[in-house]
Structure 1
Amino acid sequence: MTRVAWPPKGSLQRRLALALTGGVMALWLLATVAAGLLLRREIDEVFDSALQEVVQRVLPLAYAEILGREADALPDLQQVASVGAHREYITYIVRDATGRRLLESHDADPAQFPPNPAHGFSDGPSSRLYTEVAVSGTIVVTAAERPGHRQKAVRDAVGMLAWPLLLLLPLGIAGTWVLVAVTLRPVTAFRCEIEARGSGHLAPVSGAHLPSEIAPVAEAVNALMTRLRRALDAERSFTANSAHELRTPVAAALAQTQRLRAELPEGAARARTVEIETALKRLARLSEKLLQLARAEGAGPLGETPQNLVPALRLVLHDLSAEGTVEVALPPTGRFVSTLDMDAFAILARNLIENALKHGDGSRPVRVALTDEGHFSVISPGPVLGPEILAGMTQRFVRGAATADGAGLGLSIVQAITQGVGGEIAFVSPASGQEDGLEVRVQLPAAKLTAG
């Protein structure tokens, strides 16, 4: 099967501008060449007619002049005096049958006239000639065109047609570029709308003002996003419903297990209830993480109004204070106002700090920092992690080489919230300013900072 060779990738605007301008210039050149050929033929006809007209006007004058001489007078050469200084483009010579010159124009060059020209038009060494013979061959009148005059006229005319190309080429490129840019503005807006779509924003894109060739693409994109939104909604709904439905029976089973453990005496049966209690607690944490993940991927993490996120961070730190030591660096004003929803930020901060406390070196504190610009970072002490481990940190249910208890969903939840606000999450190991450790950086959306 023959493969179609597609053109290389590039700006459609630039390609259209260059193609249209090049096409117009090529057509202009072809039109100039065609006009030049037509003009050459017309100029040949006009100049030949002028040569013939000069000979036909000179012939009767020369005939009258020669016959008016006395019969015994010698036929001396007579030169027509010039009326004012000027350059003749057509010169003529009147000769007798023997080739003796009888009359000529003041600017005639005998070297341009052959000795025995044929009747009618002919081409001399460097000029165009026209000859007529009268009075039984006794008078021969020849007119010659100045060498190069006809060619110069054609070159000047064609040059006047081709010269504007030098001006039209940059103007044509600039004008076509602007025209194509204005024409493609709806397509550019359409592209920006598609780029703005993500897992948290799958609203239909607007196909208004799109050209008829692009409108079906908008319809296909909207149909694709509709199917994708349904699939994601079904997945999130299943995750949220499953986690929610698990919470009540797990909590009831955990309560009964704890009561049974209190009633049983020391022994194998009580040790078994402890194992059951541990498994139920792990299941409860997993269901809680699944609910957080469903919320992070479902409802938008942006709030309706900007809020100060520092109190939410303080509350998270207070809840986790019993699990380890945390060093905190807050903005100097004690406030960070953001459009991020406070609950979403609390989930994000809790998962990052909880992960750092669980998987870090417990002998050293975890460092948490929030700046006025919205840079939120959590540094957990521990060994340096390789690039292959860092690349898979946000995969679901992946816990790497960690031995601490966990569901492997914390960083997936953080990533979902970060992507929902258009930010990025970065993992750096070793941490900034340290020889080891892991640093997680998140850029939060900042609103206008208010005093107080």
Structure 2
Amino acid sequence: MTIFALPPRGSLQRRLALSLTGGVMALWLLATLGAGLLLRHEIDEVFDSALQEVVQRVLPLAYTEVLNRDADAEPGPQQIASVGAHREYITYVVRDAAGRSLLQSHDADPAQFPPNPAHGFSDGPSSRLYTEVAVSGTLIVTAAERPGHRQNAVRDAIKVLAWPLLLLLPLGIAGTWALVAFTLRPVVAFRHEIEARGDAHLAPVAIAALPSEIAPVAEAVNALMVRMRRALDAERSFTANSAHELRTPVAAALAQTQRLRAELPEGPARARTREIETALQRLARLTEKLLQLAKAEGAGLLSGAPEDLVPVLAIVLHDLEAQGRIELSLPAGERFVSTLDIDAFAILARNLIENALKHGARTGPVRVTLTQDGRFSVTSHGPVLSQEVLAGMTHRFARGTTMADGSGLGLSIVQTIMRGVGGEVIFCSPAPGQADGLEVRVQLPGLKPTAG
């Protein structure tokens, strides 16, 4: 499993990853907002203290400067020269009781200072102000903060706190998904183990690596599979034993019936023996199908070593060639090696070909094809079948639209074998390349063409 693969919608991994990532992001945003509010409060206190300190330091200097000013000096504000080129973030203005400017910092903007400011802190049109009145109201000192300086400081501080969030968001999502995916690997493996179980594989799943919350579920699944295995084993045993036990007495009864028919003269009694013989033959075929079904439902559908299927197919075709014309298509000079058990393949091929011979039209041959990529198909002529009919053809004891004799188990046996090896049966009507008929196609497992 790829750790960074996007988990499917509705999965536990996706829910945990999104919940944890969203929770961390929300907490970070709340922490950033709280830190911003606290920082704004602290910056207000620091900047207000700086304004107050500037005014208190300038006030005695301004008083001394005004007293020492020459009497014949030109009226107007005196601007304090700058020691070096710099930008003032706090400027000040010293005015008299009439509002005339007596002294100001070199970077002060008179328009920034309102006339007759009140003592203490106040807010101007675009800046924060602090004013103190001294010498019985004859000396007024006002300090002003550069417009936007405080807001910029708060904004820059919040940016410093918020930028890591933008970097943390993708890393947090990827890291959380990777952590959740790594933590849930035993649960995903448990799911794959359950998906791998089927009629032919009902072994208990491993629960050692599962978390304690999931282990009881695995134990319940194992207990359920034990009960299913017992029920399936009992059903298969009953089917196999019943068919096996029936085969001998049915064969003996059929032989006695045929002998009795030969000994009886023509008449009602001999005609009745023919009916009994036909019923016994049908019962013998049903018994054989039940044995095949027991084989298909059992284990051992895959062989330990790959085997050549062409000789098996040749035997099946030789047994069935008397029932109708069959055309075989094989690449010349090839052997077809497969991991499918040869007995299972013989049952599969016989049922497909028998079904085509019995239910297909006699207007054309039955084509049996085995391709290099492992596709085994049987094609016959006949009427075009609807999707509803095709969907029900693999049901047990279901018959097609023809009146041909049959047990209704052939295609069900084929489907059971293919399910046991992880494949499927595909029906096409009309058959590819024909205007009518039916093609039944399966994909054989582990099949490899080799030189003959």
TM tier, smaller: over 0.9
Q: 1:443 is matched with which residue? A: 443
Q: 1:239 is matched with which residue? A: 239
SS of alignment partner, residue 163 of structure 1: helix
Q: Does 1:430 align with 2:430?
A: yes
TM-fit CA distance, 1:106: 1.0
Paired residue type of 2:352: L
Q: Does 1:339 align with 2:339?
A: yes
Whole-angstrom CA distance in 2 between matches of 1:100 and 1:403? 122
TM-fit CA distance, 1:69: 4.5
SS of alignment partner, residue 334 of structure 2: coil
Which TM-score applies when normalising by structure 2? 0.92
The C-alpha deviation readout for 1:408-447, integer Å capped at 9, x for no partner, is 1111111111111111111112212112222111111134
Q: 1:221 is matched with which residue? A: 221
Q: Does 1:109 align with 2:116?
A: no
Q: 1:3 is matched with which residue? A: none
Alignment of 1:2-151 (within 5 A): 10-69=10-69, 77-151=77-151
Which TM-score applies when normalising by structure 1? 0.92
Whole-angstrom CA distance in 1 between matches of 2:383 and 2:75? 124
Whether the 8 Å CA contact 2:373–2:448 is kept in 1: the answer is no
Compared CA separation, residues 334 and 100, structure 1 to 2 (3 A): closer
Compared CA separation, residues 75 and 66, structure 1 to 2 (3 A): farther
TM-fit CA distance, 1:131: 1.7
Whole-angstrom CA distance in 1 between matches of 2:268 and 2:73? 161
Whether the 8 Å CA contact 1:91–1:146 is kept in 2: the answer is yes
Paired residue type of 1:261: R
Whole-angstrom CA distance in 2 between matches of 1:25 and 1:332? 67
Whole-angstrom CA distance in 1 between matches of 2:448 and 2:356? 30
The 10-residue stretch of structure 1 (163-172 or 307-316) with the greater mean CA deviation from structure 2: 163-172
Paired residue type of 1:117: P
Alignment of 1:154-169 (within 5 A): 154-169=154-169
Paired residue type of 2:317: L
Whole-angstrom CA distance in 2 between matches of 1:329 and 1:227? 45
Alignment of 1:301-450 (within 5 A): 301-450=301-450
Whole-angstrom CA distance in 2 between matches of 1:127 and 1:436? 92
Whole-angstrom CA distance in 2 between matches of 1:82 and 1:22? 53
The 10-residue stretch of structure 1 (63-72 or 276-285) with the greater mean CA deviation from structure 2: 63-72
Q: Does 1:207 align with 2:207?
A: yes
Compared CA separation, residues 314 and 114, structure 1 to 2 (3 A): same
Whole-angstrom CA distance in 2 between matches of 1:426 and 1:81? 97
Whole-angstrom CA distance in 2 between matches of 1:239 and 1:404? 25
Q: 1:4 is matched with which residue? A: none
Structure 2 unmatched runs, 5+: 1-7
The C-alpha deviation readout for 1:21-77, integer Å capped at 9, x for no partner, is 333222222222111111110000000110111111112222223334567878753
Whether the 8 Å CA contact 1:373–1:446 is kept in 2: the answer is no
TM-fit CA distance, 1:170: 2.7
TM-fit CA distance, 1:13: 3.6
Q: 1:187 is matched with which residue? A: 187
Whether the 8 Å CA contact 1:300–1:420 is kept in 2: the answer is no
Whether the 8 Å CA contact 2:305–2:339 is kept in 1: the answer is yes
Whether the 8 Å CA contact 2:374–2:448 is kept in 1: the answer is no
SS of alignment partner, residue 305 of structure 1: strand
TM-fit CA distance, 1:379: 1.3
TM-fit CA distance, 1:306: 0.4
Identical-residue share of aligned pairs (%)? 80
Compared CA separation, residues 434 and 447, structure 1 to 2 (3 A): closer
Paired residue type of 1:367: R
